[in-house]
A = this chain, B = another copy of it.
């Protein structure tokens, strides 16, 4: 698997993966059926640093790295990850996560924050914990899960400096 910066030529693949990932209504706020163009703009918009991961020349996932807030909060990064459901369980998410932490440090960020990790997405929560994130907040019933109804979402955070 190879990780490289995303380009406009990746738009179709990003749109396809976005559509598949949000179809379950179980991990992202995007309503299932949200047009792929929304996902493309989400990952490839102006001022967004983003990368894709390829397996045998096929894009199977992507992430973006942005400031979590403007101005006086811009030393904390935010990132968002999607892996093609057909390619999950092979380490792509972990590889993207580690790559992202390195890139965030290189870009000078001092911490990284995830604002909305769905609590029932245990694979995601466990991955971020393995990568050093802690749950620093719990948002009661903040996510309307497609099959489970309202479930909590977590705010997760890790420092990037010693």
Interface residues of A (CB under 8 A from B): 25, 28-31, 34, 68-76, 110-111, 113, 115-116, 136-146, 150, 153, 155, 157, 159
CB nearest neighbor in B for A76: B142
Determine the distance from Cα of A31 to Cα of B68 in the docked complex, in whole angstroms: 15
Determine the distance from Cα of A153 to Cα of B74 in the docked complex, in whole angstroms: 13
Q: Are the CB atoms of B159 and A140 closer together than 8 Å?
A: yes
Main secondary structure of the interface of A (DSSP, over half): strand
In the complex, the count of this chain's copies comes to 2
**Assuming the A-B contacts A72-B30, A73-B116, are A136 and B140 also in contact, with contact meaning beta carbons closer than 8 angstroms in the complex?**
yes
A-B contact pairs, 15 of them (CB 8 A): A30-B70, A30-B72, A31-B72, A69-B116, A72-B145, A72-B146, A73-B116, A73-B142, A73-B153, A76-B139, A111-B142, A113-B139, A113-B142, A137-B155, A140-B157
Determine the distance from Cα of A72 to Cα of B22 in the docked complex, in whole angstroms: 11
Q: Which of B30, B71, B157 contacts A139 (CB 8 A)?
A: B157
Determine the distance from Cα of A143 to Cα of B111 in the docked complex, in whole angstroms: 11
CB nearest neighbor in B for A70: B29
User: What's the nearest-Cβ distance from chain B to residue A158, in Å?
Assistant: 10
Residues in B neighbouring A143, C-beta threshold 8 A: 72-73
